[in-house]
Structure 1
Amino acid sequence: MRKGIIITTAIASGVVITALIATPSIAAMNRGGDPQGTGPTASSSQPYAQTEHMNRMGDGMGSASEMGAGMGAGNRAGMQGDASKGVGMAAGLADVASGTMTDEQKASLTAMAAEEKVAHDLYVAFAEKYDAAVFSRIARSETMHLDAVRTLLERYSITDPTIGLEVGMFPTDASQKLYDTLLAQGSASLDAARETARTVETTDIADLTAASAGVTAPDVLAVYEHLLTASQHHLSAFGG
């Protein structure tokens, strides 16, 4: 969160989940002190290759609502998706115009890639641990979201800091520690995992709202709006 966030204490199966107080936003932590948003040197390795096919899959609850959720007319029309055909956001960007971005906006976009990876990797871990289909469905959505952000990074010649990083690995010590903490919290019980997921989505909503402020580039605005709508759907899916 841009402001401090309190991860509410949850009691599940007799286990008390310790609150994290005044945690910086995931996006801010993932900047890693790189104001230009250039990140480390890119690698040809694609840690998400094993889930790349998911970009063309419907998300059950998530993608159907996201991809068909009125992205608006005009230069956002190309962003509308057809979940039954598995059309992803990245493909839809082909018809959306680019614009200009400030260094600060580029840094926010870079951080957003790491933020989507945090969400994706957590949900993958929870999907493996718990018999709850919501985690695998929304992990597939996060794969599509990261693809869309990566498309923007490529358009604006910004290096993706998540390239070459395996699932559970992150570009800064702070973001790695945050992921590890959230993973440990959500591993206590299914209820704790859902609470952790609600925290992630609430954080995403706050960060996307802040990142959108002042942005004029049509393609960036379109992606941010889509991700914001998606996070709201995900929050509801996790019981928020």
Structure 2
Amino acid sequence: MKTITRRTATLVAAGTLGLGGLAVAAPALAGAGPFGPGPFSTATVGPSAPGRGYGMGSGFGAGRCMGLGVTAGQGTLTDAQKSTLASMAQEEKLAHDLYLAFAGRYDAVVFDHIAVAESRHLTMVRTLLQRYGVTDPTVNRPAGSFTDPAVQATYDTLLAQGGQSLSAALAAGQQVERTDIADLRAALDALTAPDVTQVYTSLLAASEGHLTAFTHWANR
């Protein structure tokens, strides 16, 4: 377990909390974030506006983030697309929880920063779940706990894999982002709802940046 560093203290000041020896991203708003059921932000940020990403010059590759706002109008979703939306929430939580676990074990700031980005991404997906009346499968679930047995098994496998070494943890991060990229591209196919398209497009760009960042760290 890594010792507390100035970097960790900075993250706490920026909105992360220590929990069981791990850094856990605090919700951007009361009741929001990966572990709370509460309301969503009403802030609006354009889809092309740069958020608090960590650009490639810094080596974190969080890319452009829409922040907490979803500015596009609501459309319609099929039942299958609603199911996919719920699955996206679980994917974002898996990435968030996994990277925080690795951040607590390894002195690699890439995990801390991308975990914060994943928290924002989950908040955006939750906004959509609320808009379309879809049950949030991540609400009130503790870190590392998932309602879907397949997601739980994936998390457990990746956590064990990444616990072997820093290089293994970075490889697990790459695997998560490759899966997210494939799933987001598939989800965008035949999608017509403007707000869901906006969020998925933003998440896809972010995942591509995350993959680049993990690859950069793996090749250091």
Give 1:117's match in structure 2, choosing from 62, 73, 93. Answer: 93
- C-alpha RMSD of the superposition: 2.4
Matched positions, count: 170
- Where does residue 66 of structure 2 map in the other structure? 89
What is the rounded CA distance, in whole Å, between the counterparts of 1:54 and 1:132 in structure 2? 26
Any conservation in 2 of the 1:114–1:162 contact (CA below 8 Å)?
Answer: yes
CA distance in 2, matches of 1:136, 1:203: 20
User: 2:177 is matched by which residue type in structure 1?
Assistant: E
Residue 190 (structure 1) aligned with residue 166 (structure 2): yes
Q: Show the counterpart of 1:99.
A: 75
| Identity between Structure 1 and Structure 2 (%) | 50
Structure 2: gaps (5+ residues): 1-23, 31-43, 54-63
Match of 1:159 among 135, 140, 162: 135
Runs of 4+ in 1 over 2 A off after TM superposition: 76-85, 87-92
Q: CA deviation at 1:80?
A: 3.6
Which runs of 5 or more residues in structure 1 are unaligned? 1-48, 56-75
Question: If the length of structure 1 is used for normalisation, what is the TM-score?
Answer: 0.66
Q: Is the 8 A contact 1:186 1:193 kept in 2?
A: yes
Distance 1:84 1:107 in 2: 29
* Aligned equivalent of 1:10: none
Q: 1:54 to 1:143 in 2, by over 3 A?
A: farther
What residue number does 2:5 align with? none
Mapping of 1:25-174 within 5 angstroms?
Answer: 51-53=26-28, 78-83=46-51, 89=66, 91-93=68-70, 95-174=71-150
TM-score by length of 2: 0.72
Structure 2 distance, partners of 1:151, 1:114, is: 14
Higher relative contact order (CA 8 A, sep 6+): 1
